[in-house]
Structure 1
Amino acid sequence: MQSQTAATIGTYMVVSIDVTKFEQLKASGDLPSPKGVALAIIRLIQQEGSSMGDLARVIKTDPAFVGRLIKAANGLTGYNRRAIASVQEALMVLGLPAVRTLALGFSLLSSYRDGNCKGFDYGRYWTSCLVHALAMQAITQRTRVAAAEETFCLGLLARIGELALATLYPQDYGKVLKQTLEYRDLPLVALEQRAFALNHRELTSAMLADWGLPRIFHEPAFFSEAPEESGYADGSREFVIAHSLHLASFIAEVFLAEEAERPNLMSRLFEIGGRLAFDPVAINELCDGVVREWQAWGALLELDTLEIPPFSELASRGEAIAATLATEAKARVQHLPGESHELPVERAPMPGGANPLTLPVGMSQAMRVLIVDDDASMRALVRKVLETVGHQVLEASDGRVGMEMALEFQPQLMIVDWIMPEMSGLELTRALRQTKIGRSIYMLIMTSLDDDDRLIEAFENGVDDFMNKPINPRVLAARLRAGQRVIRLQQELDRDREEIRRFAAELAVSNRRLQEVALTDSLTGFPNRRYAIERMQQEWSVSSRTRRPLSGMVIDVDQFKTYNDSHGHDVGDAVLRQVATSIKGALRAQDIVARTGGDEFLVICPDTGLDAALACAERVRFAVESAPLTVSGQPLTMSVSIGVATRDTVMTDPDALVKRADQALYLAKNKGRNRIMTAQSLRPGPLIPPR
């Protein structure tokens, strides 16, 4: 059942999120997206004629990104080469695609360090993503299946669908995460699919594709949690990338597991690494290197890391624990006379589950207030007034510290002095108003200046209210009450907006479910004819743009009417379901299958020439023939006839391709059924008309 579900997702659900659901989510504007300098970097790289110098000038405006970029470049040069110290050198080492994706990943990390989903552990999520990225880089440096800098970016973003769902549906996704603890037999993707009519695997693949990552990356990312379901050929690039992502993900689980649990996970780690031909010694060395990089990167990105002993030591402990358990199990069996018994081994639940986040809820009248003043006595006076009425108060001694604390503490109200060293209160206000967090803070400025022009300047730069020095506590309390009324009105407006957003999100989920029903055949679970027509048109457009081959198959169940006439329609339905299961299991990951009529199916084969399509069709034919249906204790043999066609210079539209496959199906029926046919030469010449 698991492989069937995965095949359904692989052939239909990923496609569906690409062409319908994802565009609706993207239009909502709520999906995680790059901000600020990262957005400028991405846009500049997309422009024709932009130079390395132009890009370097944009990057240098963000010192934090400069440090991360140079750190990433030095991680690729090896220990025996001169360290990279400039942005230009880093750009040359990394290349534009990696720089673009690094800017994207680091921007998301900075902008989405926390959020409104109380069941989603944002800190654990990002530190896990960092391990994932570093592990992918280390694995790729050994497999050479892709550029290590690009797979670092892929690892950083490989679980972005989880963050997207937590951002889009914070309350509902929190409930889904809680359900993972209640329904341990149901995977997270199944619970997500039930709640939102999409899941994080689909969303990750769609977002990576939308951000410009090549298909060789975003498609294996969909299968990273279950690479065995992909159908990729052993040793192919897709196979290695999907299994590398799976290994990197498990390395992250080991890193973040409880200290006592890590040795128990080592045997599973070696098993997963073995699928990439890594022996235990190689895995231990790789993981030790990732630990060192993780701790260095964690300090740079301000993410929590852990002290982890050498992996060879963890492996030895794991072997000792396994030996002890085996001895105890053997001793228990020896105490049971007579027959031998196999004792079931219960695995501890994997680490990494979401921990509910409980935030303290203050009194309805209390506010979070930040005082910014270089005069300690003035801060003490204002603090006393604020705490008397129950407000939560923090202090900063200058504007720069105040800026950092405001972005972290997110106060509802700030009281700032106008004249301070390094950054004045007016400069602080102006800088905060340029950030999303700062736009909603009520700003009260203290001044000893009694100049109307200066006060007008303050209001024009974003100040909400002012107070003259020296401070009168009664006047300050009155000003606070006035500010509190404005803040309360803003909170009510925010709640109304959130309610509207939630309603829109629920409506979007309902619409997606209705759309899914409208495009799905209820008997087989395949997409229906309407979907097949839309999808064929899309693949035709992609083929025209990329000049890649496109093939199709029309499949018909042989003598289907006799099943209904001889055994009844319930057996006829069972035949269709059995045939559908066989077709699904024989197709490749990129193939799209739909039920287009009573006993007819259409398969679309992107990036596939005629020879490969015929080979795939033969697998389908053999799979159907080899899986008889049992009716009243007797096997009922089934077969299909298949017509195959590939796009050539004569065809002007997708209908012509389907019609040519139909002609081939007619030939297969006339030749005696249970066979595949094509009406084209195996060497048809140019597949796509020249532009």
Structure 2
Amino acid sequence: MGSNIDIRTFEQIKASGDLPSPKGAALAIIRLTRKDDLSLAELARVIKTDPAFVGRLIKAANGAAFGSRRNVASVQDALVVLGLSSVRNMALGFSLLSSYRNGGCRGFDYDGFWSGALIMAITMQAVAQRIRTAPADEMFCLGLLSRIGELALATIYPGPYGEVLTLLKTAEASDLAVCERAAFAMDHRELTAAMLADWGLPSLFVDTAALFEVPDSAQFPPDSRQRQILDALCLADALRITCLSDPSLRAEQGATLYPMGERLGMDVESVNALCDGVVAAWLEWGRVLQLETQDIPAMSSLTRAAVAASPVSAELKAAVTKGADAGDTPGVVGSAMRVLIVDDDAAVRTLLRGMLERAGHSVFDADCGRQGMELALEVQPHMMLVDAVMPDMSGLALTRALRQTRIGRSIYILILTASGEDESLIEAFDSGVDDFVAKPVRPRMLAARLRAGHRVIHLQQEVERDREEIRRFAAELAVKNRRLQEAALTDPLTGFPNRRYAIERMQQAWASSGRSGRPLCAMVIDIDAFKQINDSHGHDVGDQVLRQISAAIKQAVRAQDMVARTGGDEFLVLCPETDLSAALLCAERVRRAVRVARVNAGGLALDLSISVGVAERDADMPDPDALIKRADQGAYRAKADGRNRVATIQRAAGGANGAPGAAADEHETSRSQVRAKPAVNPIVIDESA
């Protein structure tokens, strides 16, 4: 399982029911993605039942499709871009975020936990887009869930875990994991790995999540995928700490990012650009998810004062200082460029290197075309000086090969040639060469060619920035349009779909039931004495009551059920492929969940109840409105018979004997009493409070 937790211990924790787990539509999505015969259309229909997840999925797809020309604006497109495993993991992560935004553990910063998890998710996605070790969207999910063990311990042991956090704050202890093991015989790292393994994440992710906080203990080979993902998680965690630190400590913490980036093959400007991009995305995601974020200064300006004391190489220190002083175009520090020389003549390479380094450029060299190809894809130079004639792979063959790659298309290539014949130069330009330098190389002519190339590179970068701005604007517009659509279909107080959305879904379910012949049920839920609460305590208390009762209903319904708020204190539950007996059982579970919940609002502890009417589609119903009306009549019957009960005016399958019994808080209406009622009478599940 990728952790040291005993399997039996973990199974006991799972069996307790307290372990954070996906809810509602997310659970249905996860189950669907495990089916061998799943169709994207079927998955899209389930996803659309959760408007909030739709917006988050499309936004994530636009991030994963970075660089594509067409922005993702529909669920179907998002599924194609992300793939089923990523959609499953995102449903898991976002469901946990929505369901565990708060809890009973004092001292645990729930909002800070999820804000930090979001930073790690975005960082992992950005790193993946650069190093291509794993799919970017899957790395996003790994970052989001990489510290889930902390939330799990706070959820399972809210009181004791709060005491552990208090010890850390009072400086009586310094290591969270040590304190956790002493208190619970496990730590959050081990529990994170166990949970990720249980949810089916790849072992590659499970192992790295267990070790990224203690990377020195990892035994991964230096160039392995595990090591790269581990280093990426270390960088993501360091950026999380930097962003969430006290402003006075951010500079010192931010300086530690450079050696971590260096291990991933990133130079200073790349680390700065990555961090600034992550912060911008964090602010945007924070607005979408309603998480607390902070404006962070540009990384180059933030770390300049502290970098001299950081454990980075001399080259990196010089680059940080130089980059901060220059303040020039991203990717090109002042007039400096990354230049790759490819020539089989060592004397020529030495000569060119000296000339370029004196001009302030970063220089790399290769002694053959194949090595030059590998190095070009690795260091991504701005410019290349390539000898036209080399054994094994000529400069023109190297140019043609590079132009076939995404990275190679943007490199400015100068061919070094001793031939000034027109046909040779035409062939070079046809192969993709941008310019040429005649051999023997004259320093002034080379400098002029470099300046001309630099102007072209600078213009290319400006164009790319403009394109990226347009892509970002289009993606933001698509997300905003989707958000507006969500707002039009969502009740802002409870987060449930509203009446308009419920009517659309009812029409769809009605049509599907008619085609398949499968049963369809509906519940109408009404909060008992809600008007008295508003009149006695005010509408602010009433709003808190609605939110807390909504949470209880959401926990009690099944994954395939749709809950909507259709009025002030009225809810509609749609139960597809469900007969009346099963719907009555579900309704009773919902009623009990509300009844046992102790609602705290306005300093008051309120015992609340609901009346639920249940109805099943039958042959004499002409349309969905008739089904809702029949369920509403059941709710009216429940109110008339004393409230706090479930009722239907229909007959359950198998007669009255098919109706379930109900246990009261203090009394119990026996099953024999329910069975004794005549089958022609309304079925009422009674509870006397």
1:317-336 CA-to-partner distances (Å, cap 9, x unmatched) read xxxxxxxxxxxxxxxxxxxx
Match of residue 65, structure 2, among 31, 39, 42:
31
Q: 1:526 offset after TM fit, Å?
A: 3.2
Q: Supply the distance in 1 between the matched residues of 2:120 and 2:196 (Cα, whole angstroms).
A: 35
Q: CA deviation at 1:594?
A: 2.3
Within 2, Cα distance between the matches of 1:582 and 1:262?
31
1:414 lines up with 2:384 in the alignment: yes
| Per-residue CA distance 1:610-637 (angstroms, 9 max, x = gap) | 5443322111112223346579998754
1:371 to 333, 341, 344: 341
Q: Deviations over 1:374-428 (max 9, x none)?
A: 2222222222222231111100111221111111101000111222233222222
Deviation at 1:462, TM superposition (A): 2.0
For 1:161 and 1:486, the matched residues in 2 are separated by 46
Matched position secondary structure for 1:414 = strand
Residues 647 and 377 from structure 1, CA distance in 2 versus in 1: closer, same or farther, beyond 3 angstroms? Answer: farther
Shift of 1:579: 2.7
1:76 equivalent in structure 2:
none
Partner of 2:500: 530
Alignment partner of 2:445 out of 475, 487, 506: 475
**Counterpart in 1 of 2:672?**
none
Aligned to 1:22: 57
The answer on 1:614 being equivalent to 2:533 is: no
Residue 357 of structure 2 corresponds to 387
Give me the TM-score of the superposition, normalised by structure 1: 0.52
Structure 1 Cα separation of the partners of residues 362 and 196 of structure 2: 54
Residues 5-16 of structure 1 aligned to structure 2 (within 5 Å): 15-16=50-51
Structure 1 residues 363 and 646: CA distance shift in structure 2, 3 A: same
User: Is the contact between residue 368 and residue 391 of structure 1 (CA under 8 Å) also seen in structure 2?
Assistant: yes
Q: CA deviation at 1:474?
A: 2.4
Which region of structure 1 is more displaced relative to structure 2, 487-496 or 630-639? 630-639
CA RMSD of aligned residues (A): 5.9
Counterpart contact for 2:59–2:479, Cα < 8 Å: no
Matches within 5 A, 1:501-580: 501-504=471-474, 507=477, 514-536=484-506, 551-565=521-535, 569-570=539-540, 572-580=542-550
- Give, in whole Å, the separation in 2 of the partners of 1:500 and 1:428: 33
1:473–1:631 CA distance, 2 compared to 1 (3 A): closer
CA deviations on 1:37-79 (whole Å, 9 max, x unpaired) are: xxxxxxxxxxxxxxxxxxxxxxxxxxxxxxxxxxxxxxxxxxx
Query: What is the 5 A alignment of 1:633-672?
Result: 637-645=607-615, 658-659=628-629, 661-669=631-639, 671-672=641-642
The answer to whether the Cα contact below 8 Å between 1:549 and 1:607 also exists between their aligned partners in 2 is yes
Q: 1:437 to 1:154 in 2, by over 3 A?
A: same
Match of residue 267 from structure 1:
186
**Kept in 2: contact 1:298–1:305 (CA 8 A):** no
- Identical aligned pairs, as a percentage? 50
Once the two structures are superposed, the pairs formed by residues 167-206 of structure 1 within 5 Å of their partners are 186-190=111-115
**Counterpart among 593, 596, 612 of residue 623 in structure 1:** 593
Counterpart of 1:410, as a letter, is Q
Measure the CA separation in 2 of the matches of 1:31 and 1:436.
Answer: 15
1:300-339 equivalences in 2 (<5 Å): 301=225, 303-304=227-228
Secondary structure in 2 aligned to 1:186? helix
Q: What does the per-residue CA deviation read over 1:569-625, in whole Å, with 9 as the maximum and x for residues that have no partner?
A: 455445434432432343345544321111111234466555443322111112223
After superposition, the C-alpha distances for 1:246-291 in whole angstroms (9 at most, x for unaligned) are xxxxxxxxxxx9999999897226667899999xxxx9xx989x99
- Specify the alignment match of 1:55 in structure 2: none
| SS in structure 1 of the partner of residue 50 of structure 2 | helix
What is the identity, as a one-letter code, of the residue corresponding to 1:374? D
Distance 2:91 2:412 in 1: 33
8 Å CA contact retained: 1:554, 1:644? yes
Tell me by how many angstroms 1:433 deviates.
1.8
Using the TM superposition, give the Cα deviation of residue 472 of structure 1 relative to its aligned residue in structure 2, in angstroms: 2.6
Question: What is the alpha-carbon distance in structure 2 between the residues aligned to residue 569 and residue 395 of structure 1?
Answer: 73
Instruction: List aligned pairs for 1:90-105, cutoff 5 A.
Output: none
Match of 1:677 in 2: 647
Checking the alignment, whether the CA contact within 8 Å between 1:7 and 1:229 is kept in structure 2 is no
Q: Which residue of the partner structure matches residue 241 of structure 2?
A: none
Between stretches 540-549 and 479-488, larger displacement belongs to 540-549
Give me the whole-angstrom Cα distance separating, in 2, the residues matched to 1:598 and 1:5: 30
- What is the aligned partner in structure 1 of residue 570 from structure 2? 600
Amino acid at match of 1:267: M
How many correspondences in the alignment? 458
**Structure 1 gap ranges (5+):** 36-99, 106-152, 163-182, 202-210, 231-256, 308-353, 685-691
What is the letter of the counterpart of residue 186 of structure 2?
S
On the 8 A contact 1:161/1:200 being kept in 2, the answer is no
What pairs up with 1:66-81 in 2 under 5 angstroms?
Answer: none
Structure 2 counterpart of 1:401: 371
Q: Structure 1 residues 227 and 471, CA, compared in 2 at 3 Å: closer, same or farther?
A: closer
CA distance in 1, matches of 2:401, 2:516: 46
Structure 2 counterpart of 1:524, which letter? Answer: T
Note the 1:108-187 alignment, pairs <5 A.
158=89, 186-187=111-112
**In structure 2, C-alpha distance between the alignment counterparts of 1:551 and 1:630, rounded to whole Å:** 32
Q: Secondary structure at the match of 2:441?
A: coil
Distance 2:92 2:356 in 1: 42
**Greater Cα shift, 298-307 or 442-451:** 298-307
> Is the CA contact (8 Å cut-off) linking 2:497 and 2:565 kept in structure 1?
yes
Distance 1:193 1:476, change over 3 A: closer
Alpha-carbon separation, structure 2, partners of 1:194 and 1:477: 43
CA contact (8 A) 2:22 2:92 kept: no
Q: Look up the equivalent residue of 1:529 and give its one-letter code.
A: R
1:514-557, Cα deviation, whole Å (9 max, x unpaired): 55544443433433223434555676788899998765422112
Structure 1 counterpart of 2:334, which letter?
S
Q: What SS does structure 1 have at the residue aligned with 2:564?
A: strand
Cα deviation, 1:144-191, whole Å, max 9, x if unaligned, reads xxxxxxxxx9599957999xxxxxxxxxxxxxxxxxxxx965345346
- Counterpart in the other structure of 1:494: 464
Residue 584 of structure 1 aligns with an amino acid whose one-letter code is K
Q: Partner letter of residue 595 of structure 2? A: E
SS of residue in 1 equivalent to 2:336: coil
1:424 equivalenced with 2:394 (yes/no): yes
